[in-house]
Structure 1
Amino acid sequence: MLRSLLAVALASVALPAWAEPPRVVTDIAAVHSLVSRVMKGVGEPELLIPAGASPHFYALKPSDAGKLRDAQIVIKIGPQLSPWMDRPLTSLAQGAKRLHLLEQPGTITLAARTGATFEPHRDHGDHHPGTGEDDHDHDHDHGHAAIDPHAWLDPENGKIWLPLIARALSDLDPEHAADYSANATAGTAEIDRAMADTRAALASVQDLHFIVFHDAYQYFEHRFGLNAAGAIALSHASPPGPARISELRERVEALDVTCALTEPQFDLDLVRTVFDGHDLKTAVVDPAGSAIPLGPDMYPELIRSVGAALTSCN
C-alpha cells in the first residue's frame, strides 16, 4: 500500500505544470474570432458585446462586469468604436492590459466620411499610424478628421492584428508562445483564402454603384475597389434629414444606382424613399456578422458574407 502511494506521489511530481491560458475579454465578434484563432487549442476568449448589439451604444450587464473584473487583457478595436468602454475598463479592469487594435503600428485606417454622397474611389494608399508611411497620397486628412472605426472590414487589418494578438498573449503566457505564433500564421493563410474567394465573387460587380444604409463598409470598399455612392444615415443614432435624402436621390438619379445594402435592424421605408421611382434591389448585410457562429472561422466568413451580399445585388 505504501509503495503504491509513493508511486502516485512521484508520478504527480513528474507531471508538467501546464499554465492556465490568459483570461481574455474582447469587444466585438470579429475581434473575438481573431483572438479565438490565435488561442485555438489553448483557451477561449470572452465576448463582451453580444452579436446583434451595437458596439457604439451598449449597456453593460452584471455578467459583463464580472468578465472585466477577471480579465488579464482586454483586446478591442478602440475608443473610436466604443467610447463608453473607457469608464468601466478603468473601474472594473484596472489590472488588465489593454490592446487597442486601431492604435497599433501598421494598422490601416481611413478618415470617417460625413457627407451623404461619396466621391468614386481612386487608388488610395494605406495609412499606417505610427509609421508615417503612405503608399500614395490620401484623399483624407488623417491629422484633422476622425478615424472610421470599422477597420476590421479590411481583411489586411485582420492579418496585421493576428501576430500582434499572438505577441500580447505570449507576454502573458510564454509557455504557449509557439502555439499562439503558429495559430496566427495559420489564421493569416485563412484570411488570404477568404480574400481570394471574395475578389473572385466581386469580379462581376466592380462597376456597380450602390447606396449603404449605415456607412460601415469604407474599408471593404477600399480593399476590393468598390463604388459606394452614399450613405442614408450618418450613424446609428442619426436618422437622415430631408436635405440628406434629397442629395442622395440626386446621386441615385445621376449614377442610375439600383442597389442598396441594408442591415437587419434598419427601416426599409427610408431606403424606398431614397429610391422612389427607381428600380431597387436590396441586399441585407451585417458588418458585425451577427448571424455567423462565433469562433475562429467567423472572421473569414464575415469577409466572404459581405462580398456575397454585394454580388446578390447585381
Structure 2
Amino acid sequence: MNVRRLIPTAVLAGAVALGATALTACSGAGAAGSKDGKLGVTASFYPLQFVAEQIGKEHVKVDGLTKPGVEPHDLEITPKQTAQLGEADVVLYLKNLQPAVDKAVAQSGVKNVVDAATLTTLEAHGAEPGHGEEGHAHQEGDEHAGEHAGGHEGHDHGGSGTDPHVWLDPVKYAEIAKGVGAALEKADPDHAADYKKNTDELVGKLGALDTEFKDGLKNTASRTFITTHSAFGYLAERYGLDQEGIAGVDPESEPSPARMKDLQAVAKKDNVTTVFFETLASDKTAKTLATDTGLKTDVLDPLEGITDTSQGTDYFEVMRSNLKNLQKALGAK
C-alpha cells in the first residue's frame, strides 16, 4: 500500500500555502509584487504605465496611481494608496509633475524608485519673453525651431521651473523607455533578456513615430498652433513649431483680456486656423477665443490619461491623431 497517498489533501494544501506565505515574507517583495509571481510596478500616471506595460508585458503587474479621466496635476493620494505604493517592487514617477505623488514616494520606502525626469533632459519652456530661455537644443536643419518653441505661458510644477511633458516628444520618450527597461532588468534579472528585447521593440516604434511627425510636419502653411494647455513645448521644439498657450499650466484657468488680444494678433499674423483644446479639461476658453477670432476648434491631446473620449486607445493611436489634427490645422502639404 502506498503510504504517501494517505496524506489528506487539505493538509497538503495547508502546507503548500504555509510555504508560499513564508516565501513571500522572505522575498521582500510586497503584496503588490507577489501577485502571480509577477514584478509589481506602480506607475504615477498613464505615460509611465504604458511604458512599463510595453516593456514588462507578461512578467509585470502594473498599477496606475492616476485613474482614467483624472487630471494628473490635480491628483490627491489616499493613505491606502500610499500604503499600496510601499508594497510595490518598482515605482515609476515624474518628479514635480504631481506633488502628492512626490510626497508619497518619499514616504514609501521602496527600494527601486525611478524618476523619469532623470532619464532624459528636462527643459524650461515658455518663460515670458525676456524672462528665460525659449527654443533651444534644436536639431540641425530646423530653421523654424528658434522662435518661441515653447509658447509664452510658463510651466512651473512644484517650483522646478521645467516643463514635465517630455513624453510628447517621441525621442525623449524613447530615452525614458530605455531607462525604465534598465530598471526592470535590475529589479528582475531572471527576465532581463525579455525586458531588453521589449525595450528595443518600443524604442524602434517610437523612432518610426518620430519619422512620421518629422515628415508629416515638414511642409506646412503655418508653423504656429494655439492651445489651451501649454503641454506641447517639447513637441513644438522637436518639429520646429511655435506653440502659443492660452492660459499656461491650468487648462481651465481664465486668460487675461490682454492675452486674448495678443493671441488674436498672433492668429492673424501667423495664419492660424485652429484653437486646440484637450479631452481632460473644459473647451470653454478655446471656444471663446475661436468665436472671437473666427477660428475652428480641434483636439490636441497631452496624453496624460486615456479615456473613452480619447482619439485612440493607446499612446501611439492618440499621438497619430494629434499628428493628423496638427497637419490639418497647419495646412500640411
TM bucket (normalised to shorter chain) is 0.7 to 0.9
Aligned to 2:8: none
Contact map agreement 2:264 2:293 (CA 8 A) in 1: no
> Does 2:23 match 1:32?
no
Aligned to 2:99: 83
> Does 2:202 match 1:187?
yes
The one of the two structures with greater contact order (alpha-carbon pairs below 8 A, sep at least 6) is: 1
Contact map agreement 1:215 1:234 (CA 8 A) in 2: yes
Name whichever structure is richer in helix by fraction.
Answer: 2
Structure 1 portions without partners, runs of 5+: 13-17, 127-135
> Does 2:311 match 1:311?
no
CA gap 1:266/1:163 in 2 versus in 1, 3 angstroms: closer
State how many pairs are aligned: 283
CA gap 1:254/1:124 in 2 versus in 1, 3 angstroms: same
Aligned equivalent of 1:43, options 42, 45, 60: 60
Aligned to 1:70: 87
CA gap 1:197/1:154 in 2 versus in 1, 3 angstroms: same
Distance in structure 2 (CA, Å) of the matches to 1:311 and 1:204: 9
> Does 2:138 match 1:125?
yes
Contact map agreement 1:209 1:258 (CA 8 A) in 2: no
Aligned to 2:112: 97
State, as a whole percentage, how many aligned pairs show the same letter: 24
Q: How big is the shift at 1:123? A: 7.0
Aligned to 1:170: 185
Q: State the secondary structure of the residue aligned to 1:36.
A: helix
Superposed counterparts of 1:188-203, under 5 Å: 188-203=203-218
Contact map agreement 1:198 1:303 (CA 8 A) in 2: no
Aligned to 1:131: none
Distance in structure 2 (CA, Å) of the matches to 1:260 and 1:70: 44
Q: How big is the shift at 1:249? A: 2.2
Q: How big is the shift at 1:38? A: 1.0
Contact map agreement 1:102 1:109 (CA 8 A) in 2: yes
CA gap 1:186/1:256 in 2 versus in 1, 3 angstroms: closer
> Does 2:313 match 1:300?
no
Aligned equivalent of 1:109, options 122, 143, 167: 122
Q: How big is the shift at 1:58? A: 0.6
Distance in structure 2 (CA, Å) of the matches to 1:279 and 1:24: 47
Q: State the secondary structure of the residue aligned to 2:269.
A: helix
Distance in structure 2 (CA, Å) of the matches to 1:139 and 1:281: 22
Q: State the secondary structure of the residue aligned to 2:293.
A: coil
> Does 2:245 match 1:231?
yes
Distance in structure 2 (CA, Å) of the matches to 1:108 and 1:95: 24
Distance in structure 1 (CA, Å) of the matches to 2:183 and 2:88: 14
Contact map agreement 2:94 2:117 (CA 8 A) in 1: yes
CA gap 1:292/1:222 in 2 versus in 1, 3 angstroms: farther
Contact map agreement 1:25 1:75 (CA 8 A) in 2: yes
Contact map agreement 1:35 1:165 (CA 8 A) in 2: yes
Distance in structure 1 (CA, Å) of the matches to 2:212 and 2:308: 17
What's the CA shift string for 1:142-167, capped at 9, x where partnerless?
xx971101111111122112221121
Q: How big is the shift at 1:304? A: 1.8
Structure 2 portions without partners, runs of 5+: 6-11, 17-33, 140-145, 151-158
Q: How big is the shift at 1:181? A: 0.7
Aligned to 1:290: 306
Contact map agreement 2:274 2:290 (CA 8 A) in 1: no
User: What is the root-mean-square deviation in Å for CA atoms of aligned residues?
Assistant: 3.6
Aligned partner letter, 1:108 = T
CA gap 1:207/1:241 in 2 versus in 1, 3 angstroms: closer
CA gap 1:261/1:54 in 2 versus in 1, 3 angstroms: same
> Does 2:34 match 1:21?
no
> Does 2:154 match 1:154?
no
Contact map agreement 2:45 2:305 (CA 8 A) in 1: no
Q: State the secondary structure of the residue aligned to 1:181.
A: helix
Distance in structure 2 (CA, Å) of the matches to 1:156 and 1:283: 25
